[in-house]
Amino acid sequence: MIVKRGSVVSHTVAQEWGIGKVVEVNDIRATIQFSDGMIRKITSSHFTSLQPADPASYLPPVEKVPAAKTRAPRAVSTKPKKAKKLVEAAV
C-alpha cells in the first residue's frame, strides 16, 4: 500500500485502534490519527500492516471538553481563631 497524507487506513494487527487518517508522512514514518483518539507514528517498515479503509468509515475522535473542576467545601474548624497581636507604634 502507498501511504500518503490524507489516506484513510486501518491497521491489520491492531483493529481496536479503529480507522485512521494519515496526517503526515516522511521517509521514516507516518503519523496517523486513529478514531480511538490516539495519534500514532508507524515506521515505514510496518506500512505492510496498513490496509486501505473506506473514507466514509473514518470518524474523527470526539474532542473532550474538560470538566469543570469543583473544589470541596472547606472544613469548618471547631477551634476558635487566635487573636492577632497588634504592635503599637512608638511616639
91 pLDDT band, cuts 50/70/90, is low
Its domain, for residue 35, covers 8-48
For 40, the 3-state DSSP assignment is strand
| Domain-located, residue 42 | yes
| Domain-located, residue 60 | no
Rounded to 5 degrees, φ, ψ at 57 are -85, -10
| Domain-located, residue 83 | no
Taking only the tens place, the pLDDT of each residue in 32-83 is 999 888 999 999 999 999 999 998 888 877 766 667 777 777 777 677 777 7
| Domain-located, residue 24 | yes
pLDDT at 76: 72
Cell of 38: 490516539
Cell of 13: 494487527
Domain count, the chain: 1
Which residue's entry shows cell 510496518?
A: 46
Taking only the tens place, the pLDDT of each residue in 10-29 is 999 988 888 999 999 999 99
